[in-house]
Chains A and B, each alone.
Chain A
Amino acid sequence: MNGFEEYFAMGGDGRFIWSAYAVAALVLIGLAVASVWSYRARRSEFNVLQELDGGTPRSEDGNP
């Protein structure tokens, strides 16, 4: 355990090193989660609209 703590301290510079990695991890993970969430939201919105579209009969009189 002492070895681990010593490694974690990084010779006194641990707080700088770990905070740099934490910032990068937070930004990258946050961006990934937000992107996947918005993809899922749009997917379900699209599915609902498509079902709605399929449910109504297509207009046959002069639809472009």
Chain B
Amino acid sequence: MEMPRPDPAILARKARVVARLQEVLPDDAVIHDVAETKAYECDGLAAYRCPPMVAVLPRDTEEVSAVLRICHEEGVPVVPRGSGTSLAGGALPTADSVILGVARMADVLEVDYDDRLIRVQTGRTNLSVTGAVEADGFFYAPDPSSQLACAIAGNIAMNSGGAHCLKYGVTTNNLLGVKLVLMDGTVTELGGGHMDAAGLDLLSLICGSEGQLGVVTEATLRILPKPEGARPVLMGYDSSEVAGQVVSDIIKAGILPVAIEFMDRPCIEACEAFAKAGYPMCEALLIVEVEGSDAEIDAQLGLIKQIAAKHNPVELREAADAEEAGRIWLGRKSAFGAMGQINDYMCLDGTIPVSELPLVLRRIGEMSKEYGLGVANVFHAGDGNMHPLILFDANKPGDLELCEAFGADILKLCVEVGGCLTGEHGVGIEKRDLMNVQFAPEDMAAQMAVKDVFDPQWLLNPAKVFPLETSAPHRRVAAE
């Protein structure tokens, strides 16, 4: 993945930039020693690394504003960073950039149960947002797999999802307001505690803009009362077609499960070996979870089991208690870790219309043979968000490139059947060069026009989202 060459003129100004940043931040918040900046050389897409020129760790909005004002004046690119868990290279620096990390901004600023919201600094981790309200019976709904580590800042940048989106939506549906710092240091608020926009919905543009429009320092998030209870049921089938049909039938029956997860045989095998969750060995495994009181859960699961049974499952198991429920989820939740034990892997996250599931799985199987690389599938079946894990050997020359080519073919297939390149991980650098598969040049131009408005100099995370040759004219104009 190519990155723009660092600007020698910026590198030559390093000492001055550092000195200016040190004027507005505490000493330990400006990291410029070459050995120390290495800690910020990559995010979750670890195949690509490049230490930044400087990393800064501001503590509040005022410090973020001061940093951005200086970088704006100095013409230095800024790469915002949450916790660095991006799987798409969203926080990958260039050698001439300043990494702006929000890790020191993790405070809860306000909790209001009557208005059902929480206001936090965006360096706070996803799970600890729920942690702040859990004892009082509330939770924050979006739950990406990395929720223990990932920051709300990154969740907003990538519009993160999770396993429970079918019922509760993704980040954008749970974000009520932000405090935003523009590249020139201007601070503004978008949204707030209310439920719709006063004018144009700028908040919705910010969510999912991959840190290219501004730096979000504070977020007002919707919190929800915890359901009375939740219970999963596990079902196994001989073919993914049948499992896909079961998903469709459940939804058509008028039931809205809170989660429907799907795993194929390679994934089941890996999870079994790793977590010993007691999964049946079969071609397709579904975990379907519903919420409510005990009686409500019984009623919903009753219907779901009726539908499941019609399709001759090889296994149909309802969790009898919390421990069994935990075991059912254990395998799924450790799927990525389990695969990591066996192999290096690349995790994709294209989304497809649910009806195309059998076709897409069959094609992925065929491509796996053509490329000679194994693939395991685990995904959110209710919303069509796939997570094919392509297995490769990072130490074998050429394997990464082969894996990337295979991944690109899978994503092209997702677009071809009416889906998209990325459902929740974001484009970053990883899928940047595939954008023209999904979008016509004018569609990308319209998106880049938005960046022109928010960041006319293209200094914020400039080498992401759009193919470099596509964004080059905008970046060049900005540089002049």
Instruction: State whether these chains interact.
Output: no
Q: Residues on A close to B: CB < 8 A?
A: none
Q: Residues on B close to A: CB < 8 A?
A: none
